[in-house]
Amino acid sequence: MADPIVMPSRLVRARGAWGTGFWAAFIGTGIVLAAVVPALNLWVPPGSAIAVPDYIVPLLGKYLCYAILALSLDLIWGYAGILSLGQAAFFALGGYAMGMYLMRQIGTRGVYQNPILPDFMVFLQYKELPWFWYGFDHFAWAVLMVLLVPGVLAFVFGWLAFRSRVSGVYLSIITQAMTYALLLAFFRNDMGFGGNNGLTDYKDILGWDVHAPSTRLGLYLVSVLGLGIAYLICRYVTKSKLGRVLLALRDAESRVRFLGYSVTNAKLFVFTLSAVLAGFAGALYVPQVGIINPSEFSPGNSIEVAIWVSVGGRGTLVGAVIGAVLVNFGKSWLTGAFPEVWLFVLGMLFILTTLIFPRGIVGLFRQLRRPSPQQPKTLPVEEQA
């Protein structure tokens, strides 16, 4: 890729990636996220300035899901230079798989009280459950599908694309075409996924009421855990030998190929992994927001993920998390307070981060803390998209 953002000093010290310092910071952050919010929610009297009201909990959980999604994009874009504009599609596929499980849990409590068919199917005069809905009454099957469906799609798509060396903006555009095709497909009523309205009106998950504050707190904690696991996986991959191959192919793909590495396999692995992570994030997201519909597939959503990563700092995992949370917090606040300003802000974020702060918040912070004059400005630019 033509726009390398590489920190050679960090590469050299990669061996220290799993040192005590890292674990302390990681576990510390985890405890803060997992303990402070529940404590403020449960034990601080409502109305107090630091209390976390019930409705905030799923909102925070949603940000954490977005953070996992941002991690998944950072893994392929920040490290391997693959700007997938289909990340939100994998996210939505995972979400749909979870939504299907939640729909099956409604049972006879739906409007039409059909024990097998979800309401929308009764409404659309389905006689029986479509075959791809089988098994979704079991949570384990749903979880398997959450990981498998985006993973298999990404594997097939990636295998076709990387094998023929589709890269750069071409890849971005065909991932966008894929997302668009899925968007259109899920809008169709006869696809059996609820069409325009998507899947909603969930009642409970694993027996707990999804609307109950305690369940929401539980889902939040699961999201913290999920983010932690996703972070560790991404860190493991990026700090491994494979991670360095990825960095190398991002900056000089042909050279890596000439050196004998299989670029196709490396890209395919990381692309599939990233899709699985995105699907996982989507599955956590759906019970917390209570709905999944085809608009999650819209191409704009996928591009927005890229801006979270950019704002936080591309090529740094912490950056992806910080960016996702900050941008979405800003979005929640601005769309509430000044709705017409939000698109201006988002648009300017896109422009400014690419133009002025390509390293994002984390990069800026590192520069301030440790200005390194020797840091090379760019690596040799030999390949352009």
Partner 1 sequence: MVSRLARLLALALLLVLTALPARADDYSTQITALGSDSFADKDKAITALGNLGDARAVPVLQAMSDDRLRTGANGQVLIVSPTDSTKLIDALTGQPAEGVAFGDTSRVIVNNRLRGSIEGALGGLTLFSPDRDTRLAAARDALRHPSAESLARLQKAIATESDGEVRAAVQKSLYAAQLAGGSKEEQLKAVASLADDTDPRVKSLLDEFAATPNLDPEVRKATDAAIASINQRLQLIGILANLFQGLSLGSILLLAAIGLAITFGVMGVINMAHGEMIMIGAYVAYVVQQLFRAYLPPGLIDGYLIVAVPVAFLFAGLLGVILERCLIRFLYGRALETLLATWGVSLVMQQAVRSVFGSPNKEVSNPSWMTGGFDPLGGFTMTWNRIYIIVFCFVVLGVLALILNHTRFGLYMRAVTQNRDMARAMGIRTARVDALTFGLGSGIAGMAGVALSQIGNVSPNLGQIYIVDSFLVVVFGGVGNLMGTLIGALSLGIINKVLEPFAGAILGKIVVLVAIILFIQRRPRGLFALKGRTAET
Q: How far is the CB of 33 from partner 1 (least distance, A)?
A: 29
Residue 1 in the binding site for partner 1 (CB under 8 A): yes
> What CA–CA distance (Å, rounded) separates 122 from 111?
10
Residue 13 in the binding site for partner 1 (CB under 8 A): no
Residue 165 in the binding site for partner 1 (CB under 8 A): yes
Residue 363 in the binding site for partner 1 (CB under 8 A): no
Collapse the DSSP code of 276 into the 3-class scheme (helix H, G, I; strand E, B; otherwise coil) and give the result. helix
Q: How far is the CB of 74 from partner 1 (least distance, A)?
A: 13
Phi and psi (nearest 5°) for 206? 55, 30
Give the count of residues interacting with partner 1 (CB under 8 A).
Answer: 52
Collapse the DSSP code of 312 into the 3-class scheme (helix H, G, I; strand E, B; otherwise coil) and give the result. helix
Comparing CB distances to partner 1, the nearer of 225 and 303 is 303
- State the sign of the Cα–Cα–Cα–Cα dihedral 314, 318, 319, 320: positive
Q: How many residues does the chain have?
A: 385
Residue in 238, 197, 230 with CA at minimum distance from that of residue 18 = 238
Residue 383 in the binding site for partner 1 (CB under 8 A): yes
* Half-sphere exposure of residue 270: CA atoms within 13 angstroms, side-chain side: 35
Among 13, 109, 138, 188, binds partner 1 (CB under 8 A): 188
> What CA–CA distance (Å, rounded) separates 326 from 333?
11
Comparing CB distances to partner 1, the nearer of 49 and 355 is 355
Q: In the range 67-106, which residues lie near partner 1 by CB under 8 A?
A: 77, 81, 83
Q: Convert 310-331 to b/e letters by CB count within 10 Å (16 or more is b).
A: bbbbbbbbbbbbbbbbebbeeb
Residue 324 in the binding site for partner 1 (CB under 8 A): no
- Interface stretch with partner 1, choices 47-55, 172-180, 277-285, 368-376 (CB under 8 A): 172-180
Residue 156 in the binding site for partner 1 (CB under 8 A): no
Residue 170 in the binding site for partner 1 (CB under 8 A): yes
Q: How far is the CB of 258 from partner 1 (least distance, A)?
A: 14
**How far apart, in Å, do the first and last CA atoms of the chain sit?**
7
Residue in 60, 57, 31 with CA at minimum distance from that of residue 44 = 57
Comparing CB distances to partner 1, the nearer of 18 and 180 is 180
Residue 350 in the binding site for partner 1 (CB under 8 A): yes
How do beta strands 199-200 and 204-205 pair? unpaired
Among 157, 231, 261, 280, binds partner 1 (CB under 8 A): 157
Residue in 169, 175, 183, 208 with CA at minimum distance from that of residue 84 = 175
Residue 180 in the binding site for partner 1 (CB under 8 A): yes
Among 132, 236, 333, 344, binds partner 1 (CB under 8 A): 344
Q: Are 238 and 69 in contact (CB under 8 A)?
A: no
- Interface stretch with partner 1, choices 142-150, 323-331, 350-358, 360-368 (CB under 8 A): 350-358
Residues near partner 1 (CB under 8 A): 1-3, 77, 81, 83, 157, 160-161, 163-166, 168-170, 172-174, 176-178, 180-181, 184-185, 187-188, 299-300, 303, 306-307, 310, 340, 343-344, 346-351, 353-355, 358, 381-385
